[in-house]
């Protein structure tokens, strides 16, 4: 039986990531209202627009959240090293949070670096799960 309490920091990272997603959704929605974006119509593809960047930041986390959740679930089910899982999960969350800020402020190089950090964190979680499985 897996002692789930050893993964509390990873569960915290899941909850914080959910909160981050909610905040990103609210930011994108409020900006759309302020900019009088017509619902159902595409947002202009323009990196100079904060609305575009906020929307892309929100959409981007939606692209990786399923991988994060499935990776955490797999690693925990395999009773993977909790220190590795907890650390990588918290790094994923921090990278995604700072990624969003970098997107909002249009810091392109920082945004790309933080995306890479979050991707490495996902790989580490998966690898830890497979190491435990073998």
The domain locations on the chain are: 4-133
User: H helices of 35-107, where?
Assistant: 50-77, 82-104
The pLDDT mean for the chain works out to 95
Band the pLDDT of 38: cuts 50, 70, 90: confident
Phi and psi, residue 103, nearest 5°: -65, -45
Distance CA 130, CA 122 (A): 13
Cα angle 126-129-130, degrees, rounded to a multiple of 5: 90
- pLDDT value at 57 more than 90: yes
Q: Are 93 and 13 in contact (CB under 8 A)?
A: yes
Band the pLDDT of 44: cuts 50, 70, 90: confident
The pLDDT of residue 70: 97
The CATH number assigned to the domain with range 4-133 reads 1.20.120.550
- pLDDT value at 39 more than 80: yes
Task: Report, as an integer, the average pLDDT of 47-56.
Answer: 92
The pLDDT of residue 115: 96
Task: Report, as an integer, the average pLDDT of 60-70.
Answer: 95
The pLDDT of residue 43: 87
- pLDDT value at 99 more than 90: yes
Per the confidence metrics, is the pTM higher than 0.75? yes
Task: Report, as an integer, the average pLDDT of 68-86.
Answer: 97
Q: What angle separates helix 82-104 from helix 50-77, to the nearest 10 degrees?
A: 170
């Amino acid at each position: 039986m897996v002692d789930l309490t050893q993964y509390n920091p990873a569960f915290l990272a899941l909850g914080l990531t959910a909160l981050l997603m909610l905040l990103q959704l609210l930011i994108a929605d409020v900006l759309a209202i302020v900019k009088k974006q017509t619902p159902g119509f595409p947002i202009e593809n323009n990196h100079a627009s904060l609305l575009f960047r906020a929307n892309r930041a929100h959409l981007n986390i939606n692209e990786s959240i399923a991988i994060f959740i499935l990776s955490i679930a797999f690693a925990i089910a395999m009773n993977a090293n909790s220190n590795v899982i907890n650390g990588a999960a918290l790094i994923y969350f921090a990278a995604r949070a700072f990624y969003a800020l970098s997107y909002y402020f249009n810091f392109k190089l920082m945004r790309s670096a933080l995306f890479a950090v979050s991707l490495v964190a996902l790989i580490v979680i998966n690898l830890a799960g497979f190491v435990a499985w073998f």
